[in-house]
A and B are shown apart, each in its own frame.
Chain A
Amino acid sequence: MSDADSAPGTADDPREQRWFHGWGSARGPSHIRSDKPNQDSVKVSSVQVDPPLGQTFIACVADGHGSATAYRSDKGAQFAVEIAGAVVAGALEPGGDVGATSPGPDWAGAPADAWASLVETVAKQICSKWVERVEGDIRETEDARAGLGAGNDSGPDRTGTDSTVDAPDLRAYGSTLIVGILADCGVGVLQIGDGDAIGLFSPQGQGVRAERLTPPDPRLMGNATTSLSLPDAAEDFRHGAWFTASGPGGLPWGVVIATDGFGNAMVSDDALHATVRDLVEYASQDGQDEPGWVSEWLETNVARFSGDDASMVLFWRAASHTSSAPGPEPG
């Protein structure tokens, strides 16, 4: 961050900076018309980790598929963010899954190796725990249906797709997931499925540049997406990471993570990047941690164009004294 001289809201000394964030979610017109709940879920939490990570934010954004087949995808997205947040926090904390190995991840000396180890661990855990949670929910739902009489769950009756304990239909809960991990020394993103994770970089003397934080997946087009509900989902995660150790311009000072309902309202990638820059600059200049305008802004400016649910988390790096300390994590 020391190089981000032209970025708003940044301080000269990176040791005096921390991450601020805001988040929001808006139900899309298509789901309002069909009387479906918002299929997106968002969860932001933080853990205090030994340096060089420091206070580390974990931002999870999931987009339930919302199709007739994925008739419980709002639950699938909720499970995804809850599980991902817990898995990543557990992996980062002292004695966690990643830290437990000897000699432990070297975030200061070999951050790329530490990141690779984290990704391998958490992607598999997120997928296995998500499947476990879904299967548990199917059991609970079937038990409730048996107790109350058939017809109380809209899924099988509406779609003709029966989910049973013996043959759980994961597709009913299908969801994407993006996990952003923002520490003092680096930013990493894991992603399965569509949506956008974009970082703002300010290499010395080159102005602000917006850049995708995960590699593109050519399979994601025309509403098709990879999903936690697919076999071998852990292999479909793609990821990217940036560290202060990478040198000047190596770390983004602003990050936006959003479901595709955000990006699908933009006419082009250039428009998307410009909008991300405006959002982060506005938030950082406004100076308020966890600003309350994001959901309303998404509803007014985005969801009515894309037609889809739209959710996002935005982060910006700023001097510690410019805003109040982070409040409780959003629900």
Chain B
Amino acid sequence: MTGSAPTRPTGPVMPGDRIGHRPLHFMWVIDASGSMSGTKIESLNTAIREVIPAIQKEADEWPEVDLSVAAIVFSNGARWLGSGFEPISSYRWAGVTANGVTDMGHAMNLVAEYLRDNMPERAIPPVIVLMSDGQPTDDFSSGVQAVLAEPWGRKAVRLAIAIGDDADQEVLKQFVANPERPVILASNPEQLVQAIRWASTTVTKSVASGRSKEGTDLDPAIPAPPPIPKDPQDKVW
């Protein structure tokens, strides 16, 4: 007598539309005011264009995370670049041109609005990188307070890169709002590339791959920033 082997219970079939990887939002907030024109904005565009493949490569190593990327640019007002958040796998950098004033507060309000209305409940803390070479020309304080008033704003990994000596580091520190996370100073194109690469790949990888849970009052731990000389001989900006 023959017969089929008894089948072992395997559990219910999981419909694919219920399952998803945890979303991780990465956001550049970029100063595109007139003072950024020239080598600053060129270096920034080059750095971001070059770092995208590196992020894509890193993202392949944590397939259980859905990484999406977006950029907000601010000068006369602030706006989302392109259509907002896109999967890193298809993200392309169109480039940014610089002119106008430094409406950093407007950019903060856009960030706060997004975090208030769009973050999924089970998301990984977003990573937000603010880059500027100057001082805000609008109401920055209200903007940054709006970000920090949002639960996801407080939970976000907030980083800042000061481009050149004229950048208002005190303002950038208000955004970071964490004395253990220094503002990264980039004084030449090479340092800017290095800083953007660190914030975009090293930190994002740490946040994406970490399942670390600490107390509710602690910011997520991130790797140390790259060593940048305090007074580099090749200072350009």
Contact of B11 among A194, A263, A279 (CB under 8 A): A279
Shortest C-beta distance, B85 to chain A (Å), equals 16
The reply on B20 being an interface residue by CB < 8 A is yes
Nearest residue in B to A265 (C-beta to C-beta)? Answer: B19
The reply on B121 being an interface residue by CB < 8 A is yes
The reply on B21 being an interface residue by CB < 8 A is yes
Q: Per-residue CB proximity of A33-65 to B under 8 Å, as 1/0?
A: 100000000000000000000000000000101
Shortest C-beta distance, A36 to chain B (Å), equals 9
The reply on B236 being an interface residue by CB < 8 A is no
Q: Assuming the A-B contacts A221-B121, A293-B9, A305-B64, are A266 and B216 also in contact, with contact meaning beta carbons closer than 8 angstroms in the complex?
A: no
Complexed CA–CA distance, A69 and B214 (Å): 8
Nearest residue in A to B126 (C-beta to C-beta)? Answer: A222
Question: A259-297: which have CB < 8 Å to B?
Answer: 260, 263-269, 271-272, 274-275, 278-279, 281-282, 286, 288, 291-294, 296-297
Nearest residue in B to A66 (C-beta to C-beta)? Answer: B211
Contact A67 B221, beta carbon cutoff 8 Å: yes
Shortest C-beta distance, B202 to chain A (Å), equals 15
The reply on B18 being an interface residue by CB < 8 A is yes
Shortest C-beta distance, A76 to chain B (Å), equals 12
Q: Per-residue CB proximity of A198-236 to B under 8 Å, as 1/0?
A: 000000000000000000001111111111001000000
Question: A278-331: which have CB < 8 Å to B?
Answer: 278-279, 281-282, 286, 288, 291-294, 296-297, 301-302, 304-308
Contact of B212 among A68, A282, A288 (CB under 8 A): A68
Contact A306 B22, beta carbon cutoff 8 Å: yes
Contact A227 B19, beta carbon cutoff 8 Å: no
The reply on B96 being an interface residue by CB < 8 A is no
Complexed CA–CA distance, A249 and B34 (Å): 66
Residue from A70, A223, A274 having most chain B Cβ neighbours under 10 A:
A223
The reply on A239 being an interface residue by CB < 8 A is no
Q: Assuming the A-B contacts A67-B221, A296-B10, are A226 and B215 also in contact, with contact meaning beta carbons closer than 8 angstroms in the complex?
A: yes
The reply on A6 being an interface residue by CB < 8 A is no
Q: Assuming the A-B contacts A69-B214, A222-B125, A226-B216, are A30 and B209 also in contact, with contact meaning beta carbons closer than 8 angstroms in the complex?
A: yes
The reply on B1 being an interface residue by CB < 8 A is no
The reply on A28 being an interface residue by CB < 8 A is yes
The contact size tier of chain B is 35 or more
Q: Which residues of chain B are within 8 angstroms of A288 by Cβ–Cβ distance?
A: 9
Nearest residue in B to A295 (C-beta to C-beta)? Answer: B11
Q: Which residues of chain A are within 8 angstroms of B203 by Cβ–Cβ distance?
A: none
Q: Which residues of chain B are within 8 angstroms of A193 by Cβ–Cβ distance?
A: 213
Complexed CA–CA distance, A301 and B14 (Å): 7
Contact B17 A224, beta carbon cutoff 8 Å: no
Q: Per-residue CB proximity of B102-142 to A under 8 Å, as 1/0?
A: 00000000000000000011111100000000000000000
Contact of B12 among A171, A278, A308 (CB under 8 A): A278
Contact A271 B18, beta carbon cutoff 8 Å: yes
Contact of B213 among A28, A227, A304 (CB under 8 A): A227
Shortest C-beta distance, A258 to chain B (Å), equals 13
The reply on A85 being an interface residue by CB < 8 A is no
Nearest residue in B to A308 (C-beta to C-beta)? Answer: B211
The reply on B5 being an interface residue by CB < 8 A is no
Contact of A225 among B9, B18, B216 (CB under 8 A): B216
Q: Which residues of chain B are within 8 angstroms of A264 by Cβ–Cβ distance?
A: 22, 122
Shortest C-beta distance, A98 to chain B (Å), equals 30
Residue from B9, B17, B20, B65 having most chain A Cβ neighbours under 10 A:
B9
Contact A265 B216, beta carbon cutoff 8 Å: no
Complexed CA–CA distance, A278 and B17 (Å): 14
Complexed CA–CA distance, A305 and B213 (Å): 18
Residue from B12, B62, B209, B210 having most chain A Cβ neighbours under 10 A:
B12
Complexed CA–CA distance, A44 and B124 (Å): 31
Q: Which residues of chain A are within 8 angstroms of B213 by Cβ–Cβ distance?
A: 63, 65-67, 70, 174, 176, 193-194, 223-225, 227
Contact A222 B12, beta carbon cutoff 8 Å: no
Q: Which residues of chain B are within 8 angstroms of A28 by Cβ–Cβ distance?
A: 211
The reply on B175 being an interface residue by CB < 8 A is no
Shortest C-beta distance, A132 to chain B (Å), equals 21
The reply on A156 being an interface residue by CB < 8 A is no
The 7 closest A-B pairs by CB, nearest first: A67-B212, A307-B64, A297-B11, A271-B18, A222-B125, A267-B20, A282-B12
Q: Show 13 A/B contacts (Cβ-Cβ < 8 Å), sorted by A.
A: A29-B63, A65-B213, A221-B151, A227-B213, A263-B122, A265-B20, A265-B21, A275-B14, A288-B9, A291-B9, A293-B8, A293-B11, A301-B19
